[in-house]
Structure 1
Amino acid sequence: MRRVAVTGHMDLAGGTEQLLRDALPGLLTELAAGADGLTGLSCLAPGADAVFAEAVLAAGGTLEVVLPFHDYRSSLAAPAVRGRFDRLVAAASEVTVLPYPEACLAAFEAANSALLKRADALVAVWDGRPPARGGGTATTVAEAREAGLPVHVLWPKGARRDGGR
């Protein structure tokens, strides 16, 4: 079983999720080659994490979820985002909730570290830019590389973040 974690941007601009939905099946097939299945590891954050989780399930893989803090769901403001989160949690074979009572940088960093400890590879939906503050995609990529974990950066042509980045 190949275990692949995801890290990626939440602030994807319009159309970028579709670019990812188009690109992920080929990458997941490549990552699962020679393995007896695929397990996706995700924190289910809006944006890249959720798109990755959906692609893993669509490819016939299993999904394991690590939530950074208790009642993570309540931090998701939009009803559509909560609905997507609920569907993905229901489809997961395993859900781990870290012992943080509320959102904080340490909780998110711990969740990303937990994903990396379980993974054989990391998919980074990343524009290549350094972090604006601690944590986040760039930090997780650096941690994975430092640990010797293969990192597959996915940023399809035309992908953008909100704010034009």
Structure 2
Amino acid sequence: MTTIGVTGHMDLTEESVPLVRAALDELLRAYEPDGLVGVSCIAAGSDSLFAEAVLDAGGRLVVVLPSRDYRTAKVKPDHAETFDRLVAAAGEVLVMPHGTADRRAYESANRALLARAERLVAVWNGEPPSGKGGGSADVVIEARNAGLPVDVVWPEGAARRG
């Protein structure tokens, strides 16, 4: 059994999505499907691409939601169908004990994700933390400080919007 958590950018360009997904598929091929568990907060972008790749590889999905209001407060209409499909496909859904999706809730969700994981996949461009907390770089630093192996996925041609 191998449990892999994910962190990554939400704001991938449209052209980056198939590149990142192909890189995730390639990385997950190294694991036996019946022993693969992916842990994801299933946010738009990298988290959901990873969750879909885990399920398509035959693995089991564990979803970590930062707060009780996450679905209604933070999931935008263009991501709602994917979000609902992934929640329904998950073998387990953990909801952090926060009423509101705020920085504290995101940090709590990231800690829960890292506590479950044996390694971390980071769909991350390698840029340092923004200083806001809870971003991909922050999670990578936390994982490395905890001694978790980190696989950085940032294929050639990948980019962020904006």
TM-score (normalised: structure 1)? 0.93
Q: In structure 2, what is the Cα distance between the partners aligned to 1:12 and 1:24?
A: 14
Identity value in percent: 57
1:61 and 2:69 equivalent? no
1:72 and 2:35 equivalent? no
Q: In structure 2, what is the Cα distance between the partners aligned to 1:120 and 1:73?
A: 27
Q: In structure 2, what is the Cα distance between the partners aligned to 1:36 and 1:47?
A: 25
Task: Return the letter of the residue paired with 1:55.
Answer: A
| Other-structure match for 1:161 | 160
Q: CA deviation at 1:77?
A: 4.9
CA contact 2:119–2:148 (8 Å) conserved in 1: yes
SS in 2 for 1:143: helix
| Other-structure match for 2:117 | 119
Q: CA deviation at 1:126?
A: 0.3
Q: CA deviation at 1:36?
A: 5.2
CA contact 1:56–1:63 (8 Å) conserved in 2: yes
| Other-structure match for 1:41 | 39
Task: Return the letter of the residue paired with 1:12.
Answer: L
CA contact 1:2–1:36 (8 Å) conserved in 2: no
TM-score (normalised: structure 2)? 0.95
Q: In structure 1, what is the Cα distance between the partners aligned to 2:12 and 2:71?
A: 20
Gaps spanning 5+ residues in structure 1: where? none
SS in 1 for 2:29: helix
| Other-structure match for 1:51 | 49
Q: In structure 2, what is the Cα distance between the partners aligned to 1:13 and 1:110?
A: 28
**Size of the alignment, in residue pairs?**
161
| Other-structure match for 1:134 | 133
Gaps spanning 5+ residues in structure 2: where? none
Q: In structure 2, what is the Cα distance between the partners aligned to 1:59 and 1:75?
A: 31
Which aligned segments of 4 or more residues in structure 1 are displaced greater than 2 angstroms?
75-80
